[in-house]
Amino acid sequence: MSYRALNADEIVNTISRLEQRIAARFPDAGLRKVCLDLLGIARDTQGKAELIARPNRALRALIIVAIAGGLAALGYVALTLVEAVHPQVGNEVFGIFQGIDAAMNVAVLVGAALWFAVSLEDRLRRRRSLRDLDVFRSIAHVIDMHQLTKDPGMLLYRGPETVASAERLMSKYDLTRYLDYCGEMQALTGKVAALYAQYLPDPIIVDAVNDIEELTTNFSRKVWQKISILESYDAAANARGAAEPTN
């Protein structure tokens, strides 16, 4: 077992255990359904990434045929140019330059066509990968929406509620666990997305994965700020209790 690469099976197992933990504490929460979606995406990601990274043999065969055709075209142009300057055909200066100009135009067109053919496989891989990576941005935002209304201030500093106030059904401990699950799901979302960069180390794909990692990290930072507020409140309450005189 290599410890220098992400193991997709272990990531899937981790998400599965996280879903079980959420189900045990919040069985009816929408966060559990999001975690189930993330689990399904993680199970499909390894196969998708490996399939995209696999060589496209049919496309490569077409590229070989295109390269052979391009080289044959260049050879034909070179042969025509040689015949044009042959003494039996004539060696007028104008005809020579005209032949060279035509050869250069053909060479540029053939070179551009060959570059397009050779880079076609990489561009197709990149397009498919970027399309798949958009899913991770979406699910990261969905996870963030689930923690959005979980405000520790509403729990710690209760005030008069309004008709539009969010429900306050969680205890301080449950709220901490819920936020912790959100943070774990954000981190795991980034790790699943990183599998694409592992199988396809294309600079554009790596940049896209890094953007997703940065997005999930920023969302996790918001979650941990809320958890820190809850923990600091406990610490302050304990300090006040210790400072009170005893009879």
> What's the confidence (pLDDT) of residue 114?
66
Q: What is the pLDDT of residues 97-114, one digit of tens each?
A: 565 666 667 667 666 766
Q: Please, is 129 exposed, middle or buried when counting C-beta atoms within 10 Å of its C-beta (0-12, 13-18, 19+)?
A: buried
Q: How many residues comprise the chain?
A: 247
Instruction: Name 247's Cβ contacts closer than 8 Å, sequence gap at least 6.
Output: none
Task: Record the tokens describing residue 109, joined without a space.
Answer: 């067109």
Distance CA 105, CA 92 (A): 20
Q: What is the pLDDT of residues 172-214, one digit of tens each?
A: 889 999 999 999 999 999 999 998 888 888 899 999 999 999 9
Mean of all residue pLDDT scores within the chain: 79
What Å distances lie between residue 187 and 142, 192, 209, CA to CA?
A: 14, 9, 13
Among 246, 247, 227, 245, smallest CA distance to 235 is for: 227
Residue 125, φ and ψ in degrees, nearest 5: -60, -45
What ranges in the chain are assigned the alpha helix state H? 8-25, 30-53, 57-84, 93-148, 152-156, 172-199, 203-243
Distance CA 29, CA 18 (A): 14
As a whole-number percent, the residues of the chain with pLDDT over 70 amount to 63
Q: Whole-prediction pTM value?
A: 0.73
Contact between residue 200 and residue 123 where contact means Cβ atoms under 8 Å apart: no
Among 136, 141, 135, smallest CA distance to 219 is for: 141
Contact between residue 188 and residue 220 where contact means Cβ atoms under 8 Å apart: no
Q: Is the pLDDT of residue 66 over 90?
A: no
